[in-house]
A and B are shown apart, each in its own frame.
Chain A
């Protein structure tokens, strides 16, 4: 099983700042099959990025994903108030199974 470790566990930033979230895999993720999700309190997760760097439909371009192999990054270029949430990465390169990271909580400073 591929274990995903997200860092930091929590991050305190101010609106307008840049956020950089990391997701590290215990072994190489085939074909960069990695997705990122955003979850706000009381809501279901929402897909942001798939294939490591492709934004999902309707996702603002301030969200970007990068990386390959075992190291992946989600960057939010200029934080908006609605971006403060928990972010999860997911690898699907070991299909048919899949795993999630433990999440990074992005908080308002």
Chain B
């Protein structure tokens, strides 16, 4: 079955960087994109950006200059790096497969905590 498995929880200090991985299985990885969505504690869903199967990227303007999304097709893994972390970046970060615009399925989520 189609599955996305994300890396484990991370704790970082303000100003540091974090990289979250998302390993896909059960489908032809290059045929779909991967999107990244985050959810702050008790809040709603916030789209961060996506990377297509061919490696093209697009991200929300607020993350300009701080986020990098990449893929490794040899291992069917997507990566999201967020730099210059602030306390308000504390959130659960999800990856999700997308093809036609909707997201299905989602990874289990990775909690990133930013605290001094």
Interface of B is mostly: strand
**B58, A44: Cβ atoms under 8 Å?**
no
Q: Which of B23-68 contact A (CB under 8 A)?
A: 35, 37, 44-47, 50, 58, 60
Residue A20 at the chain B interface, CB threshold 8 Å: no
Residue B81 at the chain A interface, CB threshold 8 Å: no
Residue A19 at the chain B interface, CB threshold 8 Å: no
Q: How many A-B residue pairs have CB under 8 A?
A: 55
**B108, A88: Cβ atoms under 8 Å?**
no
Q: Choose from B44, B100, B102, B107 the contact partner of A44 (Cβ within 8 Å).
A: B107
A50 CA / B101 CA spacing, docked (Å) = 9
Q: Choose from A33, A56, A96, A99 the contact partner of B104 (Cβ within 8 Å).
A: A56
Question: Which residues of chain B have C-beta atoms less than 8 A from A46's C-beta?
Answer: 105-106
**A33, B105: Cβ atoms under 8 Å?**
no
A109 CA / B27 CA spacing, docked (Å) = 41
**A44, B47: Cβ atoms under 8 Å?**
no
Question: Which residues of chain A have C-beta atoms less than 8 A from B60's C-beta?
Answer: 97
Q: Which of B96-116 contact A (CB under 8 A)?
A: 100-109
**B106, A45: Cβ atoms under 8 Å?**
yes
**A99, B47: Cβ atoms under 8 Å?**
yes
Question: Which residues of chain A have C-beta atoms less than 8 A from B107's C-beta?
Answer: 44
Binding site for A on B (CB under 8 A): 35, 37, 44-47, 50, 58, 60, 94, 100-109
Binding site for B on A (CB under 8 A): 33, 35, 37, 44-47, 50, 56, 88, 90, 92-93, 95-103
8 A-B pairs (CB sep. < 8 Å)? A44-B94, A45-B106, A47-B103, A88-B44, A97-B58, A98-B101, A100-B44, A103-B44
